[in-house]
Chain A
Amino acid sequence: MAKVAVDVMLKPEILDPQGQAIVRALPGLGFDQVTAVRQGKHFEVELDAADAAEAHAQAEKIAATLLANPVIEDFSVRLLD
């Protein structure tokens, strides 16, 4: 059993109005040094894989097929344990 984290972020050139809304809310809470926030998605995928390499490869495929849309998003994959 392997656990893999997949992080999906909008590409830098894609407008993220949710992140902008968070930036605008922070000064009102006393956080006045924040210049930018980008919001993304974090997935934790558990797999019955033979080894870590296979788990990583499977998660890469899952991310590229479904979890991320390559038109607007980038993703990264890392083994958790």
Chain B
Amino acid sequence: MTARIGVVTFPGSLDDRDALRAARAAGAEPVPLWHGDHDLRGVDAVVLPGGFSYGDYLRAGAIASFAPVMAEVVAAARAGLPVLGICNGFQVLCESGLLPGALIRNAGLHFVCRDQRLRVESTDTAWTGEYAAGAEIVVPVKNGEGRYVADEATLDELEANGRVAFRYVGGNPNGALRDIAGIRNEAGNVVGLMPHPEHAIDPLTGPSADGLGLFVSVLKQLTAA
């Protein structure tokens, strides 16, 4: 029995297919989930994918955070279900209150699309257990509103408790405070990051296979449990 990883499709999601493909490549059973359903179909983990849910109207992730499926995701995440938010999914996690802070327009105003080096800062999460602490990975980053911000007290709390999960190395693409690319919740089951590990699971189609580690990590944790 392998684990079942659900991927939510919102209207305007773009990277749900790649997230499903990454789950399959890691050895999990990929399960498509629908934004309008109050149903997680019994999955063992959930990925909120990248894209422009609801056209990013109002604020990126704002309307998606109130989608019917998100009521289920929030409740399940609070009960310990592993949840990964990538790019727009990270924005949704912040808007829904599962992660602190917010993602705002890039400091340089440009939409940035490039291969990005990241340092894995926290291996104590459901999604990063297979990485070595301090490991550097290269995955694509592509966003116009990826600048992570939070008040100083929140940033200090994230740093003090090892809750910065990923940090930009070799150049900050969007002006994110303290070079933060991704964070985790206190329990470590919820992780959000702006760059795209699901696009880097095969050197044939991505800059590396470094991103597969997130999906392998959650699978190992689920099947060991």
Contacts and interface: CB of A to CB of B under 8 A. Distances in A.
B149 A18 contact: no
A72 B58 contact: no
A71 B102 contact: yes
A14 B147 CA distance: 11
A69 B59 contact: yes
B109 A72 contact: no
Contacts of A17: 105-109
Contacts of A72: 102, 104, 149
Given A14-B149, A15-B175, A69 B62 contact: yes
B95 interface: yes
A69 B149 CA distance: 12
A36 B108 CA distance: 17
A29 interface: no
Tell me what chain B mostly uses at the interface: helix, strand, loop, or mixed. Answer: loop
Given A21-B109, A72-B102, A67 B150 contact: no
B24 to A, nearest CB: 35
Contacts of B59: 69
A66 B102 contact: no
The size class of the interface chain A forms with chain B is 10 to 19
A37 B84 CA distance: 37
Contact of A18 (B66, B109, B147, B150): B109
Interface residues of B, number: 20
Nearest to A43: B58
A21 B109 CA distance: 9
A18 B105 contact: yes
A69 B66 CA distance: 13
Tell me what chain A mostly uses at the interface: helix, strand, loop, or mixed. Answer: mixed
Interface string A6-20: 000010001101100
A71 B175 contact: no
Contacts of B55: none
B107 A15 contact: yes
B207 interface: no
Interface in A36-58: none
A15 B177 CA distance: 11
Interface in B43-101: 58-59, 62-63, 66, 94-95, 100-101
Interface of A: 10, 14-15, 17-18, 21, 66-67, 69, 71-72
Given A15-B104, A17-B107, A69-B62, 7 more contacts: A14-B104, A18-B109, A21-B109, A69-B102, A71-B94, A71-B101, A71-B150
7 contacts: A14-B104, A15-B104, A21-B109, A66-B63, A69-B62, A71-B94, A71-B102
